[in-house]
Structures are given as structure tokens and as C-alpha cells.
Chains A and B, each alone.
Chain A
Amino acid sequence: MDLAGVKMVGDLTLWLKDINKGHVPVVGRKCVSLAELIRMGARVPPGFALTIKANETMMCETGIGNKVHQYLEGFEPRSLGEFSSSKRAGNDILQIMKGVRLPEDMRDELFKSYEELCGSTGIPNVAVSVRSSGPESRPGLFETYLNVQGKEELERKVLACWASVFAPRAIANRVQQGGVVEGEYIGVVILQMVNARSAGVLFSVNPITANLNEVVIEGSWGLGESVVQASVAPDRFTIDKRTLELKESIINEKPREVILTSKGTAVEAVAPERKAISCLSEEEIKELVRLAKIVEIHYGGIPQDVEWAISADYSFPDNVFFLQTRPVVGVKWGSKYTDKPPGKSAADHIADLMVERITR
């Protein structure tokens, strides 16, 4: 890996604002996409990353890496693709990792960066989220921790995040993909927690009808977990991408929301008068769409799947936050342009499409 010219704050941590496109091998995809969102003018909560290298260093210096290696030698690698043995291995490795602490230098650097974050936000023991950021995007594979407060807790959650590389489903996934069983090293991204009034996802294209000229937003009250975990039917807005006109809004009854508590998060009942009203104002919708269009263009027109949150602590437009963006996957884009049937010549097919396009 050529790191010439890469600006390193420390070997182990990097602030989001100092991260650029070339840093994927250093801090992972999620961190880089957050950094790019900032450059594109989207609001992203302040935060920093623990590097992929830090993960590797931790595994070596604490001797955990060796222990895991030795433990896994007792397995026939392919058998780990099966649920029962990957589950056993995962649980055993979690036991091996239990009680381990970060190497001292790393802990110091983590705490120093965290104190700086507390300083810059003006909040002692500022609440943060702790998420994985691997060199490859693996949505939903590793653990995420919300509303983490204080240095000690932060250290535990960073370690837990790294331990989740050995969660049974992660092991099984690696084996199925033909990867190294012992795992991959991942970065960790630590962001100030958004005290979300509403949150959800945005698709820069309509993922259901595959209409590329529509943006679809789904959202609910409280933290994004409510939508992501599909525990409530979210509000759903369809917007014309060109005119930003709201074409359709479906406001659902939202009986529950996930909120921040002093110890983490909790599911609470939504006050009756808020249940059936829209979780987004029209100006918030427009702002989300406007930003999403920029993001989509930035990524070469590839449809994006964005996680967003509206903060209860700020007023519009400073309350609109982007927490993640990645390409929309798993949608077959519909088209008026048909595939070429086998046996037909390329020129015939192109000429037909051309004529259809003009005479449609």
C-alpha cells in the first residue's frame, strides 16, 4: 500500500475532515464516503476514525491475533461456512477477546481524540456512535453502537466493534466468499450522535418502480433504527428529481420511536398528537433531495442509498444530517430499452431502438 502523500494525524486516528478519496485502504469505505459527503457540502456530524492499521496493531500487540489463529487451526476451514460451527467459533473467539484492552498508546490516542471532540462540541462525555468501516462495504455485517458516552465506554465499544469481525454471521460470510477465515481488519468511525427528531433513508431513484427520475424518502420519528429495523411503517415521500416537486406522500401511523437515553437507546411510545403527522417538513424534504442529487452526480450518477437524520438540537437547514451513503444494490432497473434477443444482429437491434426512441 503506497501511503506517500497521505496525511496522517497519527498512525492510529484520523479526523474525518482530513480524510480523502485515497484513504480507503487506511480507514475504510464508510469513513471515506462520510469525508466526501462533507466535501460535497452535506452536513455530517463531527468525528474521527480509528484506522484499519490500528485494528491490526491491536490484534498483534495484545496477542489476541495469535490466540485466534491457534484456536482456528482446530477447524476444518470449510466447515466454518456452516451455521453451527461458525456460531461455536464466533462465541469462543468473543470469549478470547473478552476483557482485552487497547494497547496503551492506542488508548491514549483514542482518548485524546475523544477529548478533542468533547472540546470542540463543548459537551463533556459527548455521545457518539461507533461503527465499522472496512475496506469493502459489508452492510449490516458488523456491529454498530449508538449513544456511547465517556472514554471507558468508548474503548469497550471500539473493541466490541472489532470483535464483531468474528461474529458467527461474519465468519460464515467470509468463508462463503472464499475469504480468510481469521478475518479482515476494519476501521472504526466515531461520530457525534445526532439527537434525531426524525431519521430514515433516501433513495436517489425510486427503488420500487426503478424510475430514475424520482427520489424516494422513508422516515420516521426518532433515531433511524425505527426505519432500518422496520419496526414501524415509515412515512414515504416520492419526489420528482428534476422539479423537486412532491409527487406523493404517504403518512403512516407511527406508534413507536427509538430515542436516546442516558444509557443508550430506548423504544418509546409516540405522543398521540404526533403519531399521524409527517415526520418531515416540506423544506426538509427539498433539502434532502437537493443534497442527494449532488451526491449522486458526484458518484457518477450511480443511484445512492443515503441514511439521514434531522436533529432536534438545531433549526433548518443546519438540522439536516447525512450519516452514510452507498450505491443502491439489489434493484433491477426497469427500462423502455429492451434487451437484444439472441440471434438478432447488434445493428438491427440498435436501429430498432433508435426508431422506437424517436417515434415513441
Chain B
Amino acid sequence: MVEWKAEWRPKRRNHLYVLSYEDLQAYPCWYLDSVHSIPPWTPLFAWSWAHHQRYGDLWAAETLGFPTCRGTDWREVDGCGYMSPILVTDKTEQKERATRFREHLRPFIDDYHGVWSGVVKELMDRYQRFKAFDVTNSTSSALWDHFDEVFRFNYRVWGLHSWVMYTLSGLYALFEDICRERVGIDDTSAVWHRMIRGFDNKLFEVDRMFWNLYERAVELGVDGVIKGNPLDEIIPALMEDERGDRWLNEANGFRGFLNEHGWRMPRMMEFNCKPWIEDPSPAFSFIRQYIDKSGHFEMDLRRPEIVKERKEAEQEILSRFPDSQRDWIRSLMEVAQKAGVFSEEHTYYFEHMSHSLMRRAGYACAKRMVDKGLMEDPEDFVFLLPDEFRKNIIPLCLDYRPLISERRLHYDEYSKRLDRPPLIGELADDPQGAMEYMAATKDDVMMKISVGMEAVASVDYKADLYGNPGAPGISQGTVRVVSSEEDIPKIRSGDILVATTTYSSWTPVFPLLEGVVLDSGASLSHAAIVGREYNIPVVIQTKEATKRLRDGQRIRVDGSRGAVWILPG
């Protein structure tokens, strides 16, 4: 019997998927998801993760028949996600599952484009319907249905997410493994990085639109208004004159842009941040940063060269395989390349859109309770759980204020606890055993996206900090340590972004950067992918960059060797 340790035990139990005593006995180890749930989530988001993401992961692994793993189970401990893989150890069962898995793989290899455009269509059609729903003037029954539908659809979103992720990441890892074993190249090699960059994705398309909006602002002469006013007063100031009004409302104008692409949030795995459609401040600060930088859109300048390099890298890799094998190696390489694109752009279609719309539905319900005096602030919707909304949408008589203040106390306490135990359970004192258990899943998603290879320390470059190569190149710049999205507007052209990890909502500042240095990361992490596309050196897995580097320091970053030097002065 495994007994509770004080630091493992949740302080409150809001729902079924809060870590319980039975969970401690039944699963050998629970692993903290520090990538997504540090800082800890609000109660509603934690609930949603433990229900929807949990479903999606288990559903996808089981549907696909992933041979060695039924997916990952999830529990909440005071706002943090803990996961545990469900292994399939019986060889006969693995073989049976493998037959199913093999059939599911085929369409991904034969026609990835077809698979992916089907997924995007399903998601976007549904989002269009959700967006068209009038949350303010609808009847309570319609709002209830809307709330239910938007939340229920999040199961499907995560299901599709894991379904594509398991397959693509597996194929990516297979290709890397084949390249390592047969021709001595892996995902720390420069040629590998050149091979997986030079592709368009949805987020870059949005960055490009940002740049167009900036150029249009200059053309209309309203860039001064955007720069000269406090962020929340820019829109009123723009509306004062005809040129500003045009910038906002013309076709391809700012409002149209927000309505189409503003469904993304500074922190995509949360409900408590306003998406741009509600508060365009982050969008304005990106445009301002572009105004400061001016010049050209970096990606346009660099893209042809990067594409050319990618084609050369493809040839270089292919040329190391025997002639007779190049056709299938090329097919596999093409799917592996898609894994990078997917890993980056899926957040646009999955997390950002879905979570923004869930927030909109929850907020609208809360608004009606606030109007009846049953809640103080609609933003408090993050302290309620879905059944509590359902319970009150039509009756509108339950006073949730005491419940919310109790939950807020709990949240205020746990959200300050960032030093959570990385492992809980029987294997907690045996990190190596825990890692081996995880590795037995053969689940490459975790390994490639969040875990990464251990950095090989070397004293040779006389560098001050070592990590792994994330994106190739060498550059110098000024350190800007970013600990949360609030620091993003501080970034200036020529800075080197230093952070624990980066999020897709930060993509628009990449054109300003000279480099990125991360504590964590792997070759398919956000920063590595975007850095490669913008031709910015990225060093990942330094473990301690945010502790060692200070704002204003000058550093040199070598993204091909994974080294960082602090420059004198």
C-alpha cells in the first residue's frame, strides 16, 4: 500500500478526477505536466483538462490501437495536471493492437493532406457555428444548449488532437531513428533542422497579416495614434478620424482580422485570459513592436533562402540512402516534415479557438448570474464547474458568491505553490524507474515535444551555458527574460528571448528577435520550430538560462552547437 505524503495530497476535491487514494494504489506513478500546468490552472480549466484532454488521449490511443499504450490518464492536484500512461504489456495483445494501428497509419502516409484538411474542416465548420451564436440575446435554453455543445465539442477537439499527434509524432520519431541508425543524422544535427523548416503554417500567415496591418497603418498615417495612446484607448482614438476608421473597418482591416484570427489567448491553456477579440491589447503591442522595428517582414526576406536550404538538406539526407530506397524514405521524410508544421499550427485550430469559445460561453452564462446578483464578476466563471452552470442557467436563483469565494481562497493558495512534486506514487523516490516506466509506452509525443534529449555538456566552447541545438545559426543580442506573457510587450528589436518555454501566442515577436534561449524544449517545441522558420538561433534544454541570465546582458547564442556566451560589458 502506498500512503499519502503530505505534499501529494490535494487540498480540495471538486470532482471525480482529483487524485485519490485509489489512484495512488492503482497507478505506479503520476507525472507532473509542468509544461502546461505550471503556473497552476483555474478550477474550471483544470476540470476541463482532467475531463476533455483525458478523454481525447485515451480515446485516440484506443481507437488507433496504439500497440504499447492505451493512452495517458490524467488527474488534478490543486490546479496541476498529473499524468500516467496505461501500458499494454501483453505481447499477444500488442500484436492484435498493432494490426489495427497499422491500418490507421496508412492514410497518414498515403494522403496526409487529405486527413488534415478533413480535420480542419470539421473543426472550423463547428467554430463558425459557435461564433455565429448570439450569446447576449439568446434564450436561456439556447444558451444552455450552446454551453453544452461548446464544452462537449472540446472532447472531440482533444480526441482529434491526440489522434493526429500520436500518428505524426510516431512517424517523425521513426524517420529520425532510421536516419540516426542508417546515416548518422538525428534531430540535433544541423542538416536535420534545415530539412524540417521552410514550410508555411497558419500562425505565420497570421503574423504576415499583422505585418500588413502595420504597413497599412503607416500608409494611412495612423501609426502615430497606435503608438501614442494607452493600449485600451487606441480604438476610440482611431475612431475619431476617417483614416483610423478605415484602418479598423475596411476589408482586411483590423476588426475583420480580429473576428477571423482574434480567437487566441495570451495563455492558450487557460480560460482566465481575454482573447484578442475581447481585448486587442496584445495585438496592438505586436503592431507597435513592428512600428519600432520597421523595415521588412523578416520571413519574406529569409524565406527563399530557407526554402532553398531545405531542398538541399532533403537532397543531402536522401543522397546518403541507397538509390533503391529513396522513394519510401522520401515519403517518410515528407510526413516527418508535416509533424513540425502540425506541432506548430495545430494550436490555432485546436487550443486557441476551442478555449476562446469555451470562455465566451462560460462568461456569457456568468454575465446573466451577475445581472441577478448571484455572482460579483463575470470573470469569476473560472471558479465554477460545468454542472454548476447547468444547474443555474435557467433557474437563475442559486447565489454562488460564497462558493466562489471559497474556491478563490483555495486558488489563491495553490496558485502560489509552483514547486510541485514532479512525481507522485510508488515510483516517486525512483526517478530512473519512473522514466523507464514512461519510456515503455514508446510514446514519442512526450519525448519529442516536452522532454527532449539531455543536453550534452561540454567545456570546449568555453561557453557560459550549454543546451541542445534548437534552430541553427549564431547571433548576438540583449537578454530579455520573459517569465509570463505580460513581459512580451517589453521585447525590443535585437533582443534575445530567454524563458522557461514559449507559447504559440508569442509567435508575432519572433521577427524582432536575434535569438531564443530556453530552460526546456525539444526539437518540435514551439520556439525551435518558429526559430527555424525565422532563421533565428534557438538553444533549448539549458535547464538554467532563466536563472543564469539577466535582462540587459549581452550574449552570443550558437543554435547549431547549443551554446551561449555572456559577453563582457
Contact = CB atoms under 8 A, between A and B. Distances in A.
Given A40-B460, A347-B331, A359-B95, A300 B181 contact: no
B523 to A, nearest CB: 13
A98 interface: no
A350 B171 contact: yes
By CB atoms of chain A within 10 A, which of B173, B190, B442, B460 has the most?
B460
A293 interface: yes
Contact of A355 (B101, B182, B335): B101
A357 B458 contact: no
A170 to B, nearest CB: 27
A337 B189 contact: no
B460 A358 contact: no
B325 A41 contact: no
A294 interface: yes
B181 A337 contact: yes
Contacts of B185: 300-302
Nearest to B332: A350
Contacts of B188: 297, 301
Contact of B184 (A40, A303, A339): A303
Given A347-B109, A359-B98, A336 B328 contact: no
Interface residues of A, number: 35
B325 A340 contact: yes
Contacts of A163: none
B515 interface: no
A210 to B, nearest CB: 9
Nearest to A293: B456
Nearest to A296: B184
B511 to A, nearest CB: 27
Contact of B109 (A41, A212, A350, A355): A350
Interface string B340-362: 00000000000000000000000
B521 interface: no
Interface string A289-331: 0110110111011110000000000000000000000000000
Interface in B304-336: 322, 324-325, 327-328, 331-332, 335
B67 A359 contact: yes
Given A355-B102, A358-B442, A346 B331 contact: yes
A145 B445 CA distance: 54
B105 interface: yes
Contact of A335 (B181, B189, B192, B324): B181
Interface of A is mostly: helix
Nearest to B98: A355
Interface string B164-197: 0000001101100110111111101111100000
Most chain A C-beta atoms within 10 Å of own C-beta, residue among B66, B181, B188 = B181
Contacts of B110: 347
A276 interface: no
Given A340-B328, A350-B328, A351-B105, A41 B67 contact: no
Nearest to A355: B98
B177 A337 contact: yes
Contacts of B98: 355, 358-359
Contact of A354 (B68, B174, B182): B174
A339 B325 contact: yes
B458 A350 contact: no
Nearest to B177: A357
11 contacts: A41-B460, A293-B456, A293-B458, A297-B456, A298-B561, A300-B185, A335-B182, A339-B324, A354-B170, A355-B67, A355-B98
Interface of B: 66-68, 91, 94-95, 98, 101-102, 105-106, 109-110, 170-171, 173-174, 177-178, 180-186, 188-192, 322, 324-325, 327-328, 331-332, 335, 442, 456, 458-462, 560-561
Given A300-B185, A335-B178, A351-B106, 20 more contacts: A40-B461, A41-B458, A290-B458, A291-B460, A298-B561, A300-B189, A302-B184, A303-B184, A333-B184, A340-B328, A342-B324, A350-B171, A351-B105, A353-B178, A354-B101, A354-B170, A355-B105, A357-B173, A358-B442, A359-B68
